[in-house]
Amino acid sequence: MRKFFSEINKPESPFRLALTFFIPFVVILSILFALLILWEKKSHDRKLTNTLKESAMALFDQIMITRLWNAQHGGVYVEVTPETPPNPYLEDPRRDIVSVDGRRYTKVNPAYMTRQLSEITMKRHGYKFRIISLYPVNPYNFPDEWERDALKKFEKGDVVENAEIFEQDGSRVFKYIAPLKVEESCLKCHAKHGYSYGDVRGGISIIIPMERYDLLYSMDFRKTIISMLTIAAVSTIFVAGITFIISKRLSSAIERDMERKRLAAIIELAGATAHEMRQPMTIVHNLIGLFKEKFEHREPLTEEEMNIINNQCDRMNNIIRKMLSITDYKTKDYIKGKKIIDLDESSKTEDKE
Ligand code: HEC
């Protein structure tokens, strides 16, 4: 309980008091903001994946319709140009024809058309798509590993589509793949490859580069971070101010309380001193009066009287010694609800702490 004495002598500084409130606030705020940022990043990726998937699905649908239109015509003739040479994989005796005015035309099958459409889309939007198959006639249509896994699942009928984000050369790409079902019109050319109606014999994979989206998002994200930091800074300054003001008030209240305790301790010590010393002092005082009288009548002092004085002096000495060795703050009830320091209890040397 030596603490009491050190406590009443060392007032709490308002700055330290403010820190005890402020540090937990800053820690909690930081954790909260970190979680918020993480959550925001996660939900953004989820939203972006959904948006990209919708775009990919719309594109896939468009490709399918165009391919079907082509297939329904059993392929479409276009003029031969350096960009559109005859397709060596298309086995058709009427693949190449010449018009009456001598122009050369070649039949473009859906897969060939898909490649050309992809080139245009690539130039216009940066999207790429590809027709693929596990057993392609054209080696160009071989799937990569991810596409192969998806195609196998499609063939088993496990899933109807697959979408994923990939890191590629430092930037991200979104990949989407869905199966191609064999229609009646496909069999004109593919019956000989063992295709039959309703089969899944391949798929179309779409690659959307995410650079543009990521760039837009990183600008957006920067704004979010800046506004979050602003909110954090403003609330931190606000809370710092408030805690400092409260702590200042609290610390002066504590200071006043200590002042009161100090005063109480002094009064209680004075009370104890008065209480303990009064009796021996009175005895000594009375004996001195007696000695004076005896001295006037030339009467001798008895040894017993001397002993009494000696004992009372010892008693007082003992009280002083106890006062000097106070290590604790223990009080006892005195008269009229007042308390005084309990010298015996307060000066016990086998004090804990
Ligand atoms: C006019 C003939 C023709 C029609 C109609 C046709 N295809 Fe093809 N298809 C081909 C040729 C030829 C190839 C391979 C060469 C290439 O890549 O152009 C091919 C390639 C493919 C591939 C890629 C795998 C490979 O073998 O290289 C798939 C998958 C495919 N076709 C599915 C279909 C589906 C589904 C339909 C019906 C909607 C269809 N095809 C209609 C001629 C045709």
pLDDT tens digits, one per residue of 119-155: 999 999 899 999 999 989 899 999 999 999 999 999 8
Measured in Å, residue 93 CA sits from the centre of ligand 1 at 16
Alpha-carbon distances, residue 163 vs 4, 56, 285, 297 (angstroms): 69, 9, 106, 125
Alpha-carbon distances, residue 320 vs 45, 197, 230, 307 (angstroms): 80, 114, 64, 20
Q: Are 347 and 328 in contact (CB under 8 A)?
A: yes
Write down the pLDDT at residue 349: 59
Alpha-carbon distances, residue 73 vs 47, 108, 191 (angstroms): 40, 10, 16
Alpha-carbon gap, residue 82 to 165, rounded angstroms: 36
- Ligand 1 nearest atom to the CA of residue 75, by list position: 1
Q: Are 134 and 147 in contact (CB under 8 A)?
A: no
Measured in Å, residue 190 CA sits from the centre of ligand 1 at 7
Alpha-carbon gap, residue 155 to 152, rounded angstroms: 5
Alpha-carbon gap, residue 132 to 176, rounded angstroms: 13
At a CB cut-off of 8 Å and minimum separation 6, what does 284 contact?
Answer: 309, 312, 313
Q: Taking 50 as the threshold, does the pLDDT of residue 352 lie above it?
A: no
- Cβ of 236 less than 6 Å from ligand 1: no
- Cβ of 87 less than 6 Å from ligand 1: yes
Q: Are 236 and 29 in contact (CB under 8 A)?
A: yes
- Ligand 1 nearest atom to the CA of residue 91, by list position: 12
Alpha-carbon gap, residue 178 to 116, rounded angstroms: 19
- Ligand 1 nearest atom to the CA of residue 138, by list position: 27
- Cβ of 106 less than 6 Å from ligand 1: no
| Atom 36 (ligand 1) nearest CA | 186
| Choice from 87, 130, 138 to test ligand 1 binding pocket (greatest atom count within 8 A of CB) | 138
| Choice from 155, 189, 197 to test ligand 1 binding pocket (greatest atom count within 8 A of CB) | 189
In the chain, the percentage of residues whose pLDDT exceeds 70 is: 95
Measured in Å, residue 56 CA sits from the centre of ligand 1 at 21
- Cβ of 143 less than 6 Å from ligand 1: no
- Interval 334-338 mean pLDDT: 84
| Atom 33 (ligand 1) nearest CA | 186
pLDDT grade, residue 12 (50/70/90)?
low
pLDDT grade, residue 353 (50/70/90)?
very low
